[in-house]
Copies of this chain bind each other. A is one copy, B any other.
Amino acid sequence: MGQGVPAGGRIVRPNPIADDGSDQKFCSTCAFGAACVGNGVDKIRLSELHCLVEHVGPYRPGQSIVRTGDRFGAIFAVRSGTVKTRLVDLEGRELVLGFHLPGELIGLNAIHAETYPCDAVALDTVEVCRFSFPALATLATRIPQVQQELFRRLSKDLGEANLRKQEATADERLAAFVLNLSARYEARGFPADSLHLAMSRSDIANYLGLAAETVSRVLRRFQDTGLLKVDGRDVKLCEVAALRDVAKNLLHR
């Protein structure tokens, strides 16, 4: 019935999930914890940050965490599961903007407009931490490290968004995509060579600017040439070096 419960004999692997944290400790994948600790923020001030966090969820697949046009009041850090951000145009066509894994932030692109400019939709069972933005901004004026961390996050996302517009073949895009996911999982302590795609082929295609059929075909070819092993949404990276070589034009420099 529910998510994450074995059904029909098929093994459903647990979501990557952050532990809960406590009053004295952030979730292990917390968006701010790691950045602030060991960065001159003492425990007392850290607990101030902790106070304004609110755990929200779980959301079921397909449920919206925020919707386009909702009044902006908070940013969210993914605690567990995968979130897709997307636009839907007047004719109902979808444009997938990105996927957000545990530890990553949602809503930074909403600050200036004061409404969320896109939907954030759970792809599987999702839990998030909610940071009231006015409270966070106020705290940022008192704790420079928090301000700095916000600037850094925004700046990083901006830089990455800028790079994503490169011309590239379907092979390059897909190789870069799986390597990128792999690296992001690894950075949060999950295995790097074996990953589960929470999103459909057509979401991947849409995100990469390809057709879903092309995604299928390229993944198949990657498997035929031994680069990786595909089983439905489970992907095993076999030849990371070769994948990097395929994607090298996108891993820039």
Q: Residues of A with Cβ closer than 8 Å to B? A: 87, 89-90, 95, 97-98, 108-113, 117-118, 137-138, 140-142, 144, 147-148, 150-159, 161-167, 209, 249, 252-253
Contacts and interface: CB of A to CB of B under 8 A. Distances in A.
Contacts of A155: 108-113, 154
Nearest to A143: B141
Main SS of the interface on chain A?
Answer: helix
A148 B140 CA distance: 10
Nearest to A206: B167
Contacts of A162: 97-98, 109, 118, 161
A154 B158 contact: yes
Contacts of A253: 87, 89-90
A142 B142 CA distance: 9
Residue picked from A142, A162, A164, most chain B C-beta under 10 Å: A162
A207 B158 CA distance: 16
A134 to B, nearest CB: 10
Contacts of A153: 112
A109 B159 contact: yes
